[in-house]
Structure 1
Amino acid sequence: MLKKTSGEASMKTDIFAPVSRRAAFTLVELLVVIAIIGILIGLLLPAVQQAREASRRMQCSNNLKQLALAAHNYESTYKTFPYPAEDSSYGYSAQSKMLPFLEQGNLQDQLDFSQPLMIGVSYLKTLNPIYDNLVGMKINVLICPSDPGDPLYVDDDITWAGGNYMVNAGPGVGVQYCSTSDTGGIFWRGSATRFQDITDGATHTILLAETLFGARLNSTELLDAQTQMRSTSGGGSPCSTAADDLDARSVTSYDGRRAGQWLRNLTYQSFINGYFPPNSPSPDILYHGDAVMGARSAHPGGVMVSFADGSVRVVSETVDLSTWRNLHARNDGAVLGEF
């Protein structure tokens, strides 16, 4: 009788040895892990959004700083701040005059300020065709990355590009919203303001402020007070009705064209005034082509402004209204409160 070798015995033992199974997650365990991951993402997302907003806010601040320095360099070169064209609302904006000082010399070379921006008769004027390929050009330094709105605006089948940064056209009280004459601010149509004209001090006078792009539609309902202007009922000739009276009138419709043409000196395309506080719950007022136009921002809690000394800061939307209006006046001699 043959004996089994030790190797054969060992092999037989191995064959019948219990097979160990690989451990696996149960359904409950998987659900717990997914829930934990969801909680972590929920905790992380606000931090990511805050970081992104901080970056956008810094870019917005840098844009305002560049624009303020461009205005300074313009004033140093031409002995006056860049001035909007005098020809009503159909001329060039102050922002367009700053282009050479914003490293936009090539774009500036395509502008001929001796030529009219708009041609035609009265309110039937349309864009000079030499600018057909220029007006829709978006300029990054004029756009705040926090604004989710559309910088492009279509008017009479022409696509214009807008900008978020408006020049200070005064306190806006009384008829100072009317940009055809001295508004008490630094800019109006045909203005030629110099540093020495800012007797309240460059550190206490706003040069530019941010606002939001329009809703790009007209409606009979208020959809968003921050991006629409209201047209009011009642008559009166241009520059004849005080802002307080306009503010009290009933509304006929809402307009979304604001901040849609960086090249043009139309009030609601290039000017800002201090009648409304920052991020006012009341929409701006459109009146005969002029506007009671407020500073508005997508940044939480306030709006960003650059002062005439070149400094940039956020002014809270809870700022005292009198102080806010005084910051838009270059020479009212008022003592300012905290801002």
Structure 2
Amino acid sequence: MPSVTHRSRGGFTLVELLVVIAIIGVLVGLLLPAVQAAREAARRMSCSNNFKQLGLAMHNYHSAYKQLPRQGTGTDDMSQLTTADWWSQSQDATMSKLSALAGLLPFIEQQALWEQLVNPSIQNADGTTRATTDPWPAMGPSPNYWVNSGGYVPYVTELPALRCPSDPGTGLPAAGRTNYAVCMGDSGNLMYRGYRPLANDRFLDKMTNSEAEGIRGAARGVFINYYSTRFRDILDGLSNTIAMGEIATDLGDKDKRTITQSSSAFWSGQQIANPSMCSDTAGLIDAERPQFWASGTNVSTSTNGRGYRWFDQLSPYTAMNTILPPNRELCGFSTDFWLTVAPPSSRHQGGVHVLMSDGAVKFVTDSIEAGDSRSRAPDGNYRPGAQSSYGLWGALGSRAAKETIDQEL
């Protein structure tokens, strides 16, 4: 009989297994950054699409009301205005502190939330109810009153349309966050208080000539606090003028882009005379981690983080300007935010999205030509219509300075 040969099946040696594992590890190491980059590209695209929807909402609002939504609107409690100042809290009125984003709610498919906002309500955010004799008022309380008495539901509602997926910020101490802010131009005087009734009941028609001139000089952007603008006011062209910019929300990590320094040095506006004052002042920025404020410096309180309140018109929450280029530091005075250098910022690599007034979304790099970052901002000491001190970046923010834009973003 022929003999039968038995062949044994050999296995992998230890060396071969280690080689295969090493190869797989190398491939995973090469592919992981590509996967992360693809995910970020998708998040960035979603962020851009959100901005496009806001642009459509802005245009639809203008078509409906023949003006843009007002930054600084709502109701007033005249008893507060005659006994205190514009920053007073009130449970019974917004004190004209609602942002322009509130007016856009019906145009971004948030009609239900809009109905909650414009009607009295006894519901609290913590699930409790208020007495029927003491409801939340129509349009809500003043934004700085939202945390009291159980919380006001619309103010703590997180709106996906206002969030960029690249931004991880969530939860307290913020209310409803936003990654999109209106553009106030290339001025650091973001409050323009003269448009607002003050404690001594001085309305617009009771201001002095110098006060009125100062306001007109500072009001250079598409949006102006307490004042309604129209597309016809944008003399530089809708496609040449920024209407809104992206902002990163604060994570509580002392990121210089999302929380401001708290210093009385800024009270008289030194950072407006020198927008780079915060970076020029020794010891404020961490030398080893230049994106963060140095340990031990006085940053603003944790509730004043960038983008923390979509409903609040104060500059850290829903406003930006075109003075310092994107992703530079937020520099202003603690809780009094009318003198603030507030550049846009993002979690994207190398720049931010901006919404042009014609509805187009552009990506602006951090290296955009921005003129002299130590020149005085065009505020009340500048003539209305004066050329921007901040190059192409400043020109894109001013709506009517007759500045020619000869570069494609």
TM-score, normalized by the shorter chain, greater than 0.5: yes
The one-letter amino acid paired with 2:152 is: D
The percentage of counterpart residues that share the same residue type is: 35
Q: Are residues 1:102 and 2:150 paired?
A: no
Q: How far, CA to CA, are the matches of 1:242 and 1:27 in structure 2?
A: 66
Aligned to 2:298: 253
The more displaced of 284-293 and 307-316 is: 284-293
Q: How far, CA to CA, are the matches of 2:350 and 2:59 in structure 1?
A: 29
Corresponding residue to 1:263 among 311, 322, 326: 311
Output aligned runs, 1:1-339, within 5 Å. Answer: 19-86=6-73, 88=86, 91-112=97-118, 115=138, 117-118=140-141, 125-127=145-147, 132-148=152-168, 150-154=169-173, 160-172=175-187, 175-180=188-193, 181=215, 183-216=219-252, 223-234=254-265, 236=267, 243-245=272-274, 247-248=276-277, 250=281, 253-255=298-300, 257-280=305-328, 282-287=329-334, 288-290=336-338, 291-321=340-370, 322-338=391-407, 339=409
Counterpart contact for 1:119–1:128, Cα < 8 Å: no
Q: How far, CA to CA, are the matches of 1:117 and 1:152 in structure 2?
A: 21
| Partner SS, residue 161 of structure 2 | helix
| Partner SS, residue 354 of structure 2 | strand
Can you list the C-alpha shifts for 1:124-148, whole angstroms capped at 9, x where unaligned?
Answer: 8555769622322211110001112
Can you list the C-alpha shifts for 1:74-130, whole angstroms capped at 9, x where unaligned?
Answer: 11111110102357565211011101000111111101287364359xxx8555769
Change (3 A) 1:136 1:245: same
Q: How far, CA to CA, are the matches of 1:245 and 1:209 in structure 2?
A: 22
Q: How far, CA to CA, are the matches of 2:109 and 2:369 in structure 1?
A: 37
Q: How far, CA to CA, are the matches of 2:104 and 2:351 in structure 1?
A: 26
The more displaced of 133-142 and 96-105 is: 133-142
| Partner SS, residue 208 of structure 1 | strand
The more displaced of 94-103 and 82-91 is: 82-91
Q: How far, CA to CA, are the matches of 2:189 and 2:406 in structure 1?
A: 22
Change (3 A) 1:189 1:131: farther
Counterpart contact for 1:179–1:267, Cα < 8 Å: no
Q: What's the offset of the Cα at 1:60?
A: 0.7
Q: How far, CA to CA, are the matches of 1:35 and 1:48 in structure 2?
A: 20
Counterpart contact for 2:52–2:361, Cα < 8 Å: yes
The one-letter amino acid paired with 1:118 is: P
Change (3 A) 1:58 1:225: same
Can you list the C-alpha shifts for 1:12-63, whole angstroms capped at 9, x where unaligned?
Answer: x87xx56432210111000000011011111111221121111111111101
The one-letter amino acid paired with 1:75 is: H
Q: What's the offset of the Cα at 1:242?
A: 5.7
Q: How far, CA to CA, are the matches of 2:30 and 2:117 in structure 1?
A: 50
Change (3 A) 1:262 1:151: farther
**What is the alpha-carbon root mean square deviation over aligned residues?**
2.6
Counterpart contact for 1:284–1:294, Cα < 8 Å: no
Change (3 A) 1:20 1:26: same
- State which structure, 1 or 2, has the greater radius of gyration over its C-alpha atoms: 1
Counterpart contact for 1:92–1:265, Cα < 8 Å: yes
Q: What's the offset of the Cα at 1:248?
A: 2.4
| Partner SS, residue 299 of structure 1 | coil
Counterpart contact for 2:330–2:341, Cα < 8 Å: no
TM-score (norm 2): 0.69
The one-letter amino acid paired with 1:138 is: E
The one-letter amino acid paired with 1:152 is: G
Q: What's the offset of the Cα at 1:66?
A: 0.4
More strand by share: 1
Q: What's the offset of the Cα at 1:216?
A: 3.1
Counterpart contact for 2:177–2:249, Cα < 8 Å: yes
Can you list the C-alpha shifts for 1:220-261, whole angstroms capped at 9, x where unaligned?
Answer: xxx422332222342646xx5561346426555123511100
Aligned to 1:220: none
After TM superposition, the runs of 4+ consecutive aligned structure 1 residues lying more than 4 A away are: 86-90, 124-131, 249-252
Counterpart contact for 2:54–2:108, Cα < 8 Å: yes
Q: What's the offset of the Cα at 1:193?
A: 0.4
Q: How far, CA to CA, are the matches of 2:244 and 2:179 in structure 1?
A: 10
